[in-house]
Amino acid sequence: MDSLDSPCSPAVMSTNLYPPLNLKVITPRLELHGATDELLAQLLPVVRGGVVAGQPYPFDDPMSLYEDNPVRERKWLQAIWRGRGNVHPESWRLYFVILLGEQAVGMQDLIGVNFDTCQTVTSFSWLAPSVRQQGLGREMRAAILHLAFEGFGAAEAASEAFFDNLASNRVSESMGYQPNGSDWATRRGEPAVLNRWRLKRDDWAPNRRSDIELIGAEECKAVLHIK
């Protein structure tokens, strides 16, 4: 896929028409910007080059980032476009591109799960191989938790990672998440154990950061059916 500027693209629009695309979360180290087509285009070279470096595989099935090119980048884009429009009071997904300076280096998603009744969320993220092991994973998680708890009034945040995804599990533990059991999932067709984590609002609040800025969160609430 050479360009996202075709008038046939399902998401060629002014960001002013869809508040989630204007949403930003800003920390001293990085920024999360609503995943516009322009920002997704900046990430295409990273997706094309490959996000999965090898075993242990980090994602459960099905996962477009395991596919070969050009299927990988096409399915990746299609999933984001579908997710933008699949919004219900109980479930929604916000996609963010991570900017390090002006460079797009990964994605961080926030997913509402039974949000209308339980106010619970989970998250998903990935980083370009070139910027890993710099502490950015923890900073991204802090940013998305601030949006969930401070911006949207979430009651609890969940996370999960395969037992051998040491980086993700360490981020959850360091952020105050508590173990919440385990489950089985497949990755590239093979079964493996998932560690589950959860963080309650009351456990997040004492360590709430004062250096994270939210832009556009209030305008998103009506789109996401958040009161």
pLDDT at position 2 is 41
pLDDT at position 54 is 87
Alpha-carbon Rg for the chain, nearest whole angstrom, is 17
pLDDT at position 15 is 55
Q: Are 42 and 36 in contact (CB under 8 A)?
A: no
- Residue-wise pLDDT for 94-104, tens only, equals 999 999 999 99
CA dist., res. 26 & res. 23, Å (int): 10
Tokens standing for residue 56: 């242990």
The type of residue at 135 is: G
Does the pLDDT at position 155 exceed 50? yes
Torsion angle (degrees, nearest 10) of CA 187, 192, 193, 198: 0
Q: Are 153 and 161 in contact (CB under 8 A)?
A: no
pLDDT at position 16 is 66
- Residue-wise pLDDT for 123-140, tens only, equals 999 999 999 999 999 999
Going by C-alpha positions, the residue among 157, 18, 149 that lies closest to residue 95 is 18
Residues 213-222, mean pLDDT to the nearest whole number: 97
Helix (H, G, I), strand (E, B) or coil at 86: coil
Write down the mean pLDDT value for the chain: 93
Q: At what angle do helices 166-174 and 136-146 cross, to 10 degrees?
A: 50
Q: pTM for this one?
A: 0.92
- Proportion of the chain above pLDDT 90, given as a percent: 91
pLDDT at position 7 is 39
Going by C-alpha positions, the residue among 125, 137, 124, 150 that lies closest to residue 204 is 150
H or E element: which one contains 174? helix 166-174
- Residue-wise pLDDT for 14-62, tens only, equals 556 899 999 999 999 999 999 999 999 999 999 999 999 889 999 999 9
pLDDT at position 99 is 98
